[in-house]
Structure 1
Amino acid sequence: MKTELRALSIPKPNLFNNPQSSLKGPLKGCLGSLDGACIEKLLLHCASALESNDATFAQQVMWVLNNVASSIGEPNQRLTSWFLRALIFRTARVCPSTAMNFHASNILHHMSQSRLMSVTELADYVDLIPWHRFGFCASNGAICKAIQGHSKVHILDLSITHGMQWPTLIDALAKRPEGPPSLRITVPSARPPVPPLLNVSTQEVCYRLANFAKSRDVPFEFHVMNCSSPSSFGFHLEFLLSLLNPSLLDLRDDEALVINCQNWLRYLPDEPLEDDVGIRDRFLEMIRSLNPHIVVVVDEDADLDSPSLASRITACVNYLWIPFDAFETFLPKDSAQRMEYEADVGHKIENIIGFEGMQRIERLESGEKTTHRMKMAHFASIPFYEETLKEVRCSLEEHASGWGMKREDEMLVLTWKGHNSVFATAWIPC
């Protein structure tokens, strides 16, 4: 068994040398197939084999997947190549110590070597598809509506896109009939270790935003809140307590407090605390205790946090095909930009499939589940106004025709060919 598992830990999958004649039933039938349903079945067969320690069958499935996967092929082939990598990483976890060392160092290498973007490259990254711009547009519209009549606004920005959301808001505030408010933005000193990563400091981002606000005659402050960093990939309670400390936030009675959560809640582990309340729910309780004027929550609309590997693979396949398919509509197969963006999605797949415990930081919940959490934390949803809907529709017209928007209960949802991809919600304490 150890010899078989060691063979699976080889980092280059094209070294698998299982003869085609040894394949059986579903494996032989799917050899070379680009059908998404067939690929999903193969991935589930592999997950089942790994969970039952059947290394021989797992290796056979990986050999078939390797004959389908291609990082420069059709969307299904490109997606499969990242799933194959994730399964190899996962397999390495059950190998002897040498394989474990390879596995750990390889993942840390990937994380440390994630590409650092310039501000211009980050802007291009955000503009490539409406994955982020949809949330920016919906959130900014809700924020503008909520702070009408307020002369001072404080935004606690919990997001992963390095302030790219705020120039559009600053521009909108500059055009208010009653004049712009004084705007203060606070960001934490720590962020999830995920793309996009920037090659300039937070202070440089602050400087650029301040200059932009000055050019629009918007009074502006930017504050980086130095809080205790997480000791591992997950955000711990100590970090949250320091993050949401009213004293550190310098809350002021004459300011309208806005809390902006963009692709953030998923990185909070949901393990229960001593009082059986999960960390994610405690975080929302703490947010509510700050009595914000509005809370906006935006994230990807999928359930990727199941304890079952098979369930996570199914959810991943049925969700993460969307960006791979979208890129196919307007970027050449050998486009460096396309490969870089796909790599960011691929690293997410590696984490969701390849890891368990605190090392699995991608713990995305669907919009439906997030909405339920917000209601249980005593928040009430507020609708997106028609002006905001028009702005979102206008922004989507700049992209491929497959993108759309719909209302779904309390959510505004970005769709690709009718499939949910990103949700946006707005809330007030109740």
Structure 2
Amino acid sequence: MSPFNQLNKEEGSFGKLPQLWEEDDSGNKSKATRWLLFSTQYQQAEQEPQKDLHNLDSLFLDTAPPFRYQMHELADIESQYSELIKPHTSQDAVRHEARGPKLSTDAVIRLGGERFIQSCSSSVNDISMPTHPYGGSFSGFTDQEVKDIELIENLLLSAEKVTHQQFERSSKLLDWCDVLSSSSGNPIQRLAHYFSKALREKMANESGIISSHGSGKKDVAEMEGRMMTPNPTTLSVYQKLPFLQAGQFPGVQALVDAVAGATKVHIIDLSIKQGVQHTILMQAIASQPNLIIESLKITAVGTMFKEKLEQTGDRLRSFAESISMCLTFNVAMVEDMLDFKEDLFELDPDEALAVYSSHALWGMIGQQDRLECLMNVIKNINPRVMVVSEVAANLNSPNFVNRFIEALFFYGAFFDSLEDCLDREDENRAITESMYFGNAIWSIVAAEGEDRVVRHVNIDVWRKFFARFGMQETELSMSSLYQANLMAEKLPCGSSCTFDMDEKCLIIGWKGTPIHSLSAWKFS
């Protein structure tokens, strides 16, 4: 029995509810005041977009500080690096937040950030020594935890040197990071391994050395191709990471809520991938006797991989037949999203129309004319609802420092989840970390211009963008929230999933770190 059927068997119908320069006396520039340059740089990046929020470019820059953490105790260092630490930084508080004796990657990053800020405000050497680096202030941590905190500190120090193009000094720091990191170690060691590689690539690029990494666009295309076809890696990760599964159920429920009362339903999917969401949707429809759907039409939109899209359609048709559901599956292919038009769809005025977009929009942030074209067409066809799932982090800041730190927290949560949910020797874990996370970290940290294809923004930016098309955010039903919680409870490691509301948007996280956002929209 599928998890969805089991869910309905045990709880009833799908909708049923229970309850960063100044001189010192010697004329030298101190580390702490050097970061004021970055603070100024950040403020310029922050204020510039506010001159004209109607300019699309502005919406995808730093319109607001992207960090989740503030550290008022270190007010003497007025830079974005103070955002690394939450107001409570005591050892006891960190351990409480880590939910046990084992420090989470988030806690280690914050402690490494605190140590980094302390080193910036002092005159110690750049490279932390491995023997008693923190004195008594970090007593009580294990030797490995101390090494992990030190690793994050030196990674941040290296990023500082890169921003000043002090490549030789940065390289020495990275040499030390490479001693402590490993692609097969604990989550912090693995995380630092890929960030260290990306920093070396950034130094090579800025030094005029041809990168061995290749084209960022090509890597992303290869990743998308792999995700279109069922394979052991994507299947294993999907089944093991609870926030991936739990995040789909509330989106499906939002679709179900929107088409209630209709007998003909048409779903336009902007990024169908393997179509798991539609298997869930069909099961949801079939499980509710009061929801009688005579025909279900799914249109998959794509710019490449037509054959794989059609294979997804074959699988969905086969599943529909197994539950006696009438399904029509179409593929709407466009070579360029500028060619995206209404006549790509077989629209019927008698159909309840909905649009489903799961991580489909971020890839067009660097191609904003394409994104505008897409949204204008969707506005014209006026669906009952547009369900949008995107990354809940700002990884598109034009300021390298901001981007680096936000990415450190975001991918730190992913590496932490893989540690908890998969074995260290799991081949699928290694592939996921190297191919998917490694390439994404390279794009965010090392690439610029067209090669920086991985660009994510948070829900606040999407709200400003969607407002330009008359889109209004709608409430997710209690059924949607219930489905997310219920699914998480049924999965191993599901207790580490967190669900929070940002206005009307559901933020799905891992141990409190935001991972995905889910929101529903209607057109006025």
**TM tier, smaller:** 0.7 to 0.9
Aligned to 1:242: 339
Equivalents in 2 of 1:381, 1:29: separation in Å?
51
The answer to whether residue 511 in structure 2 is matched with residue 399 in structure 1 is: no
The DSSP-based 3-state class of the residue aligned with 2:457 is: coil
Aligned to 2:158: 46
Question: Normalising by structure 2, what TM-score?
Answer: 0.67
Cα distance change, pair 361–323 in 1 and its aligned pair in 2 (3 A): same
The answer to whether residue 127 in structure 2 is matched with residue 27 in structure 1 is: yes
**Matched ranges for 1:23-422 at <5 A:** 25-29=125-129, 38-96=150-208, 99-100=209-210, 102-104=212-214, 112=222, 116=226, 119=230, 121=232, 122-159=234-271, 161-176=273-288, 177-190=290-303, 201-228=308-335, 239-243=336-340, 245-270=341-366, 280-281=371-372, 283-343=374-434, 344-397=436-489, 398-400=491-493, 401-422=495-516
Deviation at 1:51? 3.4
The AA in structure 1 aligned to 2:456 is L
Cα distance change, pair 37–251 in 1 and its aligned pair in 2 (3 A): farther
Equivalents in 2 of 1:34, 1:73: separation in Å?
15
Aligned to 1:427: 521
Check whether the contact 1:403–1:415 (CA below 8 A) recurs between aligned residues.
yes
The DSSP-based 3-state class of the residue aligned with 2:283 is: helix
Check whether the contact 1:66–1:84 (CA below 8 A) recurs between aligned residues.
yes
Equivalents in 2 of 1:207, 1:67: separation in Å?
49
The AA in structure 2 aligned to 1:155 is I
Check whether the contact 2:265–2:293 (CA below 8 A) recurs between aligned residues.
no
The DSSP-based 3-state class of the residue aligned with 1:104 is: coil
Check whether the contact 1:47–1:309 (CA below 8 A) recurs between aligned residues.
no
Question: Normalising by structure 1, what TM-score?
Answer: 0.81
Equivalents in 2 of 1:82, 1:135: separation in Å?
26
Equivalents in 1 of 2:270, 2:223: separation in Å?
24
Check whether the contact 2:388–2:518 (CA below 8 A) recurs between aligned residues.
yes
Equivalents in 1 of 2:273, 2:473: separation in Å?
24
Equivalents in 1 of 2:315, 2:328: separation in Å?
12
Equivalents in 1 of 2:216, 2:377: separation in Å?
37
Aligned to 1:18: none
Cα distance change, pair 103–332 in 1 and its aligned pair in 2 (3 A): closer
Check whether the contact 2:474–2:522 (CA below 8 A) recurs between aligned residues.
yes
The AA in structure 2 aligned to 1:240 is M
The DSSP-based 3-state class of the residue aligned with 2:276 is: coil
Moved more, 401-410 or 134-143: 401-410
Cα distance change, pair 148–185 in 1 and its aligned pair in 2 (3 A): same
Cα distance change, pair 179–367 in 1 and its aligned pair in 2 (3 A): same
The DSSP-based 3-state class of the residue aligned with 2:421 is: coil
Deviation at 1:258? 1.1
The Cα offsets for residues 95-151 of structure 1, whole Å up to 9 and x where unpaired, read as 45xx41634379957975999476263433322213432332111000001101112
Equivalents in 2 of 1:271, 1:161: separation in Å?
21
Equivalents in 1 of 2:285, 2:323: separation in Å?
9
The DSSP-based 3-state class of the residue aligned with 2:424 is: coil
Check whether the contact 2:362–2:455 (CA below 8 A) recurs between aligned residues.
yes
The DSSP-based 3-state class of the residue aligned with 2:235 is: helix
Deviation at 1:47? 3.0
Cα distance change, pair 106–63 in 1 and its aligned pair in 2 (3 A): farther
The AA in structure 1 aligned to 2:346 is D
Equivalents in 2 of 1:302, 1:156: separation in Å?
26
The DSSP-based 3-state class of the residue aligned with 1:368 is: helix
Q: CA RMSD in A?
A: 2.8
Equivalents in 1 of 2:295, 2:272: separation in Å?
24
The AA in structure 2 aligned to 1:412 is L
Check whether the contact 1:72–1:78 (CA below 8 A) recurs between aligned residues.
yes
The Cα offsets for residues 168-199 of structure 1, whole Å up to 9 and x where unpaired, read as 101111233242241111112326x9xxxx9x
Q: Give the % identical residues.
A: 22
Check whether the contact 1:93–1:103 (CA below 8 A) recurs between aligned residues.
no
Check whether the contact 2:152–2:192 (CA below 8 A) recurs between aligned residues.
no
Deviation at 1:270? 4.6
Equivalents in 1 of 2:467, 2:219: separation in Å?
40
Check whether the contact 1:258–1:292 (CA below 8 A) recurs between aligned residues.
yes
The DSSP-based 3-state class of the residue aligned with 2:514 is: strand
The DSSP-based 3-state class of the residue aligned with 1:119 is: coil
Aligned to 1:8: none
* Number of aligned residue pairs: 383
Equivalents in 2 of 1:91, 1:311: separation in Å?
18
Deviation at 1:365? 0.5
Check whether the contact 1:298–1:424 (CA below 8 A) recurs between aligned residues.
yes
Equivalents in 2 of 1:250, 1:115: separation in Å?
26
Equivalents in 2 of 1:114, 1:383: separation in Å?
31
Cα distance change, pair 378–39 in 1 and its aligned pair in 2 (3 A): farther
Equivalents in 2 of 1:113, 1:391: separation in Å?
29
Larger Rg over CA atoms: 2
The AA in structure 1 aligned to 2:181 is A
Equivalents in 1 of 2:459, 2:303: separation in Å?
25
The DSSP-based 3-state class of the residue aligned with 1:165 is: helix
Aligned to 1:231: none
The DSSP-based 3-state class of the residue aligned with 1:221 is: strand
Unaligned runs of 5+ in 2: 1-123, 134-143
Check whether the contact 1:186–1:249 (CA below 8 A) recurs between aligned residues.
yes
Equivalents in 2 of 1:270, 1:130: separation in Å?
30
